[in-house]
Amino acid sequence: MVARQTGARSGKVELADIVRAHGAAFRAAHRLCAVQHRALRAIERCRTAALGGELRQCDACGERRYVYHSCRNRHCPKCQTRAKERWLAAQRAELLPVPYYHLVFTLPHELNALAQGNPRALYAMLFAAAAETLTEFGENPRWLGGEIAATLVLHTWGQTLSQHLHVHALVAAGALSTSGTWVRSRRGFLFPVKALSIVFRAKFLAALAQGLAHGQLALSGSTAALSAASTQRSLLADLRKKAWVVYAKRPFAGPEAVLEYLGRYTHRIAISNERLVSFDAGSVRFRYKDYAHGARRKVIGLEPLEFLRRFALHVLPRGFNRIRHYGLLANRNKRTLLAKARMALHAPVPVRAPAESVATFWQRLAGLDIARCTQCGLGTLRLLATLAPPPRPPP
């Protein structure tokens, strides 16, 4: 009897297929850092025999199936669904019963090359500038006069995998005052976006100037000229003249709408398997939204090595946290401050749901019984053998 393999999507293009077909040529043509190598290796090995797994057999018809392990790399499009759901379950207990605003803080594209050589530093500056701007506006009595609750999520890509550095901010419509009362924002308004953009720009450029002046940034390739003080001053002056973009959307109606938003943005990667259309030796074709023309859905084709180059741009530095919480949600005093906020809002303390098993998770999310035999539809797949990953060849 031939055992079947589970995990692959029959007839569908996956990012792993592209990496397996063109990864070796891409690695030979480009100098990658260790975390990029690890991400590509994990993606191409995910849910294959290379990671080991289990052999299961149906207790009714005898059908055998190989079930291979996931790589769990945060850049793998096949490994984000359960991670996202676990994270959302934890956040559900921390949401306040108030509207939430969605703001986006974006860096000018002139900083893209500098970010490629210094991703950890530039991303940290982006987080800090956006968070400090929101915190200061929240503390200002003109707007709220208290401590806000904010979650920021880093995205580094645009629809065509181009570099587009920005953070999405989810901010509660109000703040906790020092007296313990909840200060509500004006209806349909949180902070003025033009003022936000000016302060955001000033804070980021102050941090960038300090990093350049103290030699804290690696300058090579197209950024090597920035080692000269005069060139640094010229860059900073040009960036100050630009109008930086801070975008604010209408507030969400309630906590469930907030969770839906979080699910779309928090564990998203640069490109999902669902967007891939086809690939061959000369082109990778995928869907994207053209926001310059009314968010029309289009298909773009990129040469395979260019596609992988763009994808690798968005692999985060090792250990870098792309979801961060501020104000009432900051870890240092979160439990105490959230309790005070709920008391001020006369809101009950939410009950945390118990952790789900893998089987319960897939049953709830997709109505899928992963233990049921798909061949006969009657039996249960029982563990027959544990499969160790094969030994890796020496480097």
Examine residue 305 and state whether it is found in any structural domain, yes or no: no
Question: Are 30 and 123 in the same domain?
Answer: no
Nearest residue to 300 via CA among 271, 260, 339: 271
Examine residue 306 and state whether it is found in any structural domain, yes or no: no
pTM: 0.91
> What's the rounded Cα separation, in Å, for the pair 168 and 323?
10
Question: Are 114 and 263 in the same domain?
Answer: yes
Question: Are 254 and 194 in the same domain?
Answer: yes
Examine residue 281 and state whether it is found in any structural domain, yes or no: no
8 A C-beta contact, residue 136 and residue 214: no
Integer CA distances (angstroms), 93 to 25, 52, 80, 189, in order: 47, 36, 21, 25
pLDDT value of residue 188: 82
Question: Are 249 and 122 in the same domain?
Answer: yes
Question: Are 256 and 174 in the same domain?
Answer: yes
Question: Are 21 and 85 in the same domain?
Answer: no
Examine residue 52 and state whether it is found in any structural domain, yes or no: yes
Examine residue 276 and state whether it is found in any structural domain, yes or no: no
> What's the rounded Cα separation, in Å, for the pair 223 and 216?
13
pLDDT value of residue 56: 95
Examine residue 206 and state whether it is found in any structural domain, yes or no: yes
Examine residue 285 and state whether it is found in any structural domain, yes or no: no
pLDDT value of residue 71: 95
Question: Are 336 and 368 in the same domain?
Answer: no
CATH number of 116's domain: 3.40.1310
Low-confidence ranges of the chain (pLDDT < 70): 1-11, 253-255, 353, 355-356, 362, 365-366, 393-395
Question: Are 49 and 149 in the same domain?
Answer: no
8 A C-beta contact, residue 34 and residue 96: no
The domain containing residue 379 runs over which residues? 4-76+356-387
Question: Are 144 and 201 in the same domain?
Answer: yes
Cβ neighbours of residue 238 under 8 Å, at least 6 residues apart?
110
- DSSP assignment of 239-269 equals HHHS---EEEPPPBSSHHHHHHHHHHHTT--
- DSSP assignment of 293-310 equals GTTEEEEEEE-HHHHHHH
Domain count, the chain: 2
Question: Are 183 and 326 in the same domain?
Answer: yes
Question: Are 72 and 85 in the same domain?
Answer: no
* SS3 assignment, position 130: helix
Residue in the structure block whose two tokens are 């090595």: 305
> What's the rounded Cα separation, in Å, for the pair 114 and 110?
8
> What's the rounded Cα separation, in Å, for the pair 93 and 226?
47
pLDDT (tens digit, 9 = 90+) per residue, 33-51?
Answer: 999 999 999 999 999 999 9
Question: Are 237 and 109 in the same domain?
Answer: yes
> What's the rounded Cα separation, in Å, for the pair 239 and 332?
35
pLDDT (tens digit, 9 = 90+) per residue, 257-288?
Answer: 777 777 777 778 899 999 999 999 999 999 99
pLDDT value of residue 390: 86
